């Protein structure tokens, strides 16, 4: 009996304090990599708030998760400030360089140039450092230097790499056949090994293959972080770092100049707000499409009693698919950078508009996507971005998603500066006026214009009930992001699943075009798939969808840090 009590006390201790544990009383950080999560927890323990923790974690991921964590990319965050009872978002999406042009990735016959996704020319003006510095200036608590310090240490002293990162780096360097990490290569097979500056940073000293347990040390990145620690955003957008970026661009045919860097601004914006079953949903505004897609889909779905039929019943899957189809049609047709295109956001996320859309859903027949408009087709997106969630003792919370676009972005490290450039310019519509079945989109809303920010699917989201945070979530996954996030929200609110089950449950994806319903994983009942096919859905089963590192706050105020296990290395760290 005594042994039992001792074991159960130990188990409780492990559960509440371990980095792999789930339930915390005070604060928690959930993200893709353990050292980065510990960086966030370190600043929380030092008295920092949820914003400080999100910044420390994001900078930590820039060191330890190079496929998606970044200084050279961009993203969006949503923050709830408990003391001010205020929700704000920060848009730190990359922008088109001043010298960019609408047809810059096309040859004279209008064909997209090969390898346009790699190298300096694929990069937009990075937004991450400006976004994190702005978040700190407006909402942070600890001194900036304390928030940057853990990342400096990880870069300078190195960190122990996982088998996943070892495999990925080996593949990127063209060493050995690695299984299961193909998604890190660009569409034309581009890899880190194609760029001398990237090889210099990521090859193992001595040149052997990387193994689990090896240490990756990044001195150039540490020096860049030193400048950011000392000078804030100016340590990136001006001075030595900016010169290194501009020089690399000149040498490698990129377009980002000192002027582009000096004039880049992250922006504080009001969140998009909607309601679902008496909960308040806060998401990112355009140029992210995430907020619009999720709120429009929730508004449509609120008109049905999904719970009565269960989350994975054919009728629920049909309704969710039809809501996704309509919301993604809205996305393609209407959303871009609001500084450049007019977007009727209020109408798109209104209840009456959703009521109209819901009435167009046939109870037992799939709506062919071509019926929503003439033909427009979107291709699949690669699978690398990363999402983190934080909450502090006061109840302030941050949902932050940022990215280099593809795994390792452009694959090109800025020589001497130690960080990878994004290849986010590919998120613009590259073929003006040409929309076809091969995946090209030519709509006006998202064409390249200097300084314009490209359309995104990133969907950091905070859900509140009765003035308190209930759910902090978001995901990577290209165009699947809003749908992954939608499923987590539905699982928590509509189906009232437990936190772990809400994140673990298989997800689905439909993005209007291609007109395909994807069901994640293999564990679908044959009868369910059959019924969906009878309704007219083109169903594909398999694969994994997203990586939604989430926090759920229960009625007692306990923080459930739910690290999505789909990509293995994720961690919840808290107290
Ligand atoms: O902003 C976007 O929508 C894309 N650049 C995100 C890319 C992505 O999520 C890739 N991987 N997970």
Nearest-CA neighbor of 534 among 526, 545, 522?
526
Domain membership flag for residue 432: yes
Mean pLDDT of 259-271: 98
**pTM attached to this predicted model:** 0.94
Q: What letter would DSSP give residue 226?
A: H
The residues near 477 (Cβ < 8 Å, ≥ 6 apart) are: 381, 383, 385, 457, 484, 545, 546, 547
Q: How far is CA 291 from CA 143, 271, 384, in A?
A: 31, 8, 20
Q: What is the pLDDT of residue 539?
A: 98
> Is there a domain that residue 147 lies in?
yes
On whether residue 294 sits in a domain, the answer given is no
**Residues carrying an active site annotation:** 385
Residue 354 has pLDDT above 80, yes or no: yes
Closest residue CA from atom 8 of ligand 1: 478
What DSSP string runs through 339-397?
A: TTS---HHHHT-HHHHHHHHHTS-TTSPPPGGGGSS-----------EEEEEE-TTS-E
Would you say residue 189 lies in a domain?
yes
Most distant CA pair in the chain, distance = 80
Take residue 49 and report the two structure tokens written for it: 């708030």
Q: Find the DSSP H helices in 381-479.
A: none
- The alpha carbon of 457 and the centre of ligand 1 are apart by a number of angstroms equal to 7
Q: Is residue 408 part of a domain?
A: yes
**Is the residue at 92 inside a domain?**
yes
Give pLDDT tens digits for 88-121: 999 999 999 999 999 999 999 988 898 899 999 9
Q: With bands split at pLDDT 50, 70 and 90, how would you rate the model's confidence at 443? A: confident
Q: Which two tokens mark 218?
A: 């990044």
| Angle subtended at Cα 138 by Cα 133 and Cα 143, rounded to the nearest 5 degrees | 65
Cα-to-centroid distance, 284 and ligand 1 (Å):
14
pLDDT of residue 436: 59
Q: Ligand 1 test: best mutation among 61, 183, 456, 478, most atoms within 8 Å of CB?
A: 478
The preferred substitution site among 32, 384, 385, 409 for testing ligand 1, maximizing ligand atoms within 8 Å of CB, is 385
Residues with CB under 6 A from ligand 1: 381-385, 403, 405, 424, 427, 456-458, 476-478, 481
Average pLDDT of the chain is: 92
pLDDT confidence bin for 2, thresholds 50/70/90: very low
Asked whether residue 462 carries a pLDDT value surpassing 80, the answer given is yes
CB 532 within 8 A of CB 320: no
Q: Which atom of ligand 1 is nearest to the CA of 479?
A: 3
Residue pointed to by tokens 């046939």 = 362
Residue 341 lies in a domain: no
Query: Is 21's pLDDT higher than 70?
Result: no
Task: Give 481 Cα–ligand 1 centroid separation in angstroms.
Answer: 8
Atom nearest to 426 CA in ligand 1:
5
Cα(410) to centroid(ligand 1), Å: 13
Q: Which residues of 490-516 are buried (b: 16+ CB within 10 A; e: fewer)?
A: bbbbbbebebbebbbbbbbbbbbbbbe
511 vs 180, residue with greater confidence = 511
Q: Count how many domains the chain has.
A: 1
The answer to the question of residue 527 being in a domain is no
Residue 544: DSSP 8-state = -
Query: Distance between CA atoms of 389 and 368, rounded to whole angstroms?
Result: 37
**Which domain covers residue 393, as residue numbers?**
24-266+385-441
> In this predicted structure, what is the pLDDT of residue 439?
54
Chain length of the chain: 575
Report residue 86's pLDDT band, with 50, 70 and 90 as the boundaries: very high
Please report the pLDDT score of residue 18 as a whole number: 38
Q: C-alpha dihedral over 53, 54, 59, 62, to 10 degrees?
A: 140
């Amino acid at each position: 009996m005594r042994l039992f009590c001792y074991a159960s006390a130990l188990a409780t201790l492990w559960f509440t304090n371990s980095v792999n544990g789930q339930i915390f009383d005070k604060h928690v950080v959930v993200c893709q990599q353990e050292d980065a999560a510990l960086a966030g927890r370190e600043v929380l323990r030092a008295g920092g708030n949820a914003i400080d923790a999100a910044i420390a974690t994001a900078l930590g991921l820039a060191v330890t998760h190079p496929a998606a964590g970044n200084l050279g990319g961009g993203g969006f965050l949503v923050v709830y400030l408990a003391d001010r009872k205020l929700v704000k978002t920060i848009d730190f999406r990359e922008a088109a360089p001043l010298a960019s042009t609408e047809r810059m990735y096309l040859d004279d016959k209008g064909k997209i140039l090969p390898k346009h996704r790699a190298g300096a020319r694929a990069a937009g003006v990075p937004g991450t450092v400006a976004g994190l510095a702005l978040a700190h200036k407006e909402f942070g608590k600890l001194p900036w230097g304390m928030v940057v310090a853990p990342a400096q240490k990880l870069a300078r002293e190195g960190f122990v790499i996982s088998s996943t990162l070892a495999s990925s780096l080996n593949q990127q360097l063209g060493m050995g056949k690695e299984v299961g990490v193909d998604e890190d290569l660009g569409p034309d097979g581009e890899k880190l090994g194609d760029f001398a500056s990237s090889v210099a940073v990521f090859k193992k000293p001595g040149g052997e293959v990387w193994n689990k347990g090896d240490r990756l040390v990044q001195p150039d990145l540490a020096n860049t972080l030193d400048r950011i620690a000392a000078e804030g955003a100016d340590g990136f957008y001006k001075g030595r770092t900016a010169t290194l970026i501009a020089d690399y661009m000149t040498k490698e045919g990129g377009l980002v100049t000192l002027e582009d860097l000096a004039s880049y601004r992250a922006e504080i914006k009001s969140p998009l707000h909607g309601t679902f079953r008496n909960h308040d949903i806060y998401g990112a505004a355009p140029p992210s499409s995430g907020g619009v897609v999720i709120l429009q889909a929730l508004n449509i779905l609120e008109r049905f009693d999904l719970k009565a039929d269960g989350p994975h019943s054919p009728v629920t899957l049909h309704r969710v698919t039809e809501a996704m189809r309509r919301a993604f049609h809205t996305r393609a047709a209407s959303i871009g950078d609001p500084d450049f295109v007019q977007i009727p956001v209020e109408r798109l996320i209104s209840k009456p508009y959703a009521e109209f859309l819901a009435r167009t859903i046939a109870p037992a027949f799939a709506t062919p996507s071509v019926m929503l408009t003439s033909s427009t087709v979107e291709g699949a997106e690669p699978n690398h971005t990363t999402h983190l969630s934080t909450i502090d003792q006061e109840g302030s919370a941050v949902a932050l998603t940022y990215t280099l676009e593809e795994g390792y972005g452009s694959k090109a490290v800025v020589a001497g500066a130690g960080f990878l450039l994004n290849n986010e310019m590919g998120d613009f519509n590259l073929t003006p006026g040409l929309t076809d079945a091969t995946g090209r989109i030519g709509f006006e809303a998202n064409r390249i214009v200097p300084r314009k920010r490209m359309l995104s699917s990133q969907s950091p989201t905070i859900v509140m009930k009765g003035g308190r945070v209930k759910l902090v979530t978001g995901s990577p996954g290209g165009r699947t992001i809003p749908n992954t996030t939608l499923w987590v929200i539905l699982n928590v609110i509509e189906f009232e699943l437990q936190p772990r089950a809400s994140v673990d449950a298989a997800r689905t994806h439909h993005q209007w075009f291609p007109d395909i319903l994807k069901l994640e994983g293999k564990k679908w009942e044959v009868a369910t798939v059959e019924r969906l096919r009878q309704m007219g859905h083109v169903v594909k089963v398999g694969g994994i969808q997203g990586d939604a590192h989430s926090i759920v706050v229960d009625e007692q105020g306990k923080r459930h840090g739910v690290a999505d296990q789909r990509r293995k290395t994720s961690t919840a760290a808290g107290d």
